[in-house]
Amino acid sequence: ILASAIANRFTDVHITAVELSPDMIELGKKHIKETAAEDRVRFIRGNVENKSFMSSLGKYDLVYSTFSLHHWRNPVQAIKWMTGAVKENGTMVIFDFRRVWWLYYHPKHNGFLDSVRASYTKKEIRGMFRKIGIRKIQIRIPSPFVWQLIIIQK
């Protein structure tokens, strides 16, 4: 949905959407076809934690990820390979949940709450970026407060 929103808002952009799940790729292709942006959005099955795969994609002005950080087995490597796909003067944006302490006291378990519990704090995220040598990042917490936006400018 985000890829189609960007493609329809900015008609001169071309988007490469990386997705691990074949089912999600099929849903994405169906949605893109409905929004008439299929000539500017391509879907590739791949894993951002795979260095050779990410290197094969080339460089982009904008690299973004939505609600995936908390799923990655090795988030430091994924961030490193994603950062490598950003052109000089480009931007990387990671949008994900933010772990909040009070959810551990909530008795309910479902996909959403478990994802928030599995996510990272600002301190943990800064530590991940420090491990790959990036110290200048912005972390913003828009409403609602269980989300966070991580922005890196090259």
DSSP state of 101: G
How many other C-beta atoms can be found within 10 angstroms of the C-beta atom of residue 45?
A: 12
Question: What is the rounded distance in angstroms from the CA atom of residue 138 to the CA atom of residue 123?
Answer: 12
Question: What is the rounded distance in angstroms from the CA atom of residue 129 to the CA atom of residue 93?
Answer: 13
On the question of pLDDT at 144 being above 70, the answer is: no
pTM value is 0.86
Handedness of CA 30, 35, 38, 42 (dihedral sign): negative
The per-residue pLDDT for 128 is 96
Confidence of residue 63 (pLDDT cuts 50, 70, 90): very high
**In the chain, what percentage of residues exceed pLDDT 70?**
99
Q: Out of 46-55, 56-65, 81-90, 102-111, which region has the weakest mean confidence (pLDDT)?
A: 102-111
Structure-token pair, residue 43 = 């879907």
**In the chain, what percentage of residues exceed pLDDT 90?**
66
Q: Which is more confident, 154 or 28?
A: 28
Query: Mind listing the pLDDT tens digit for each residue in 13-23?
Result: 999 999 999 99
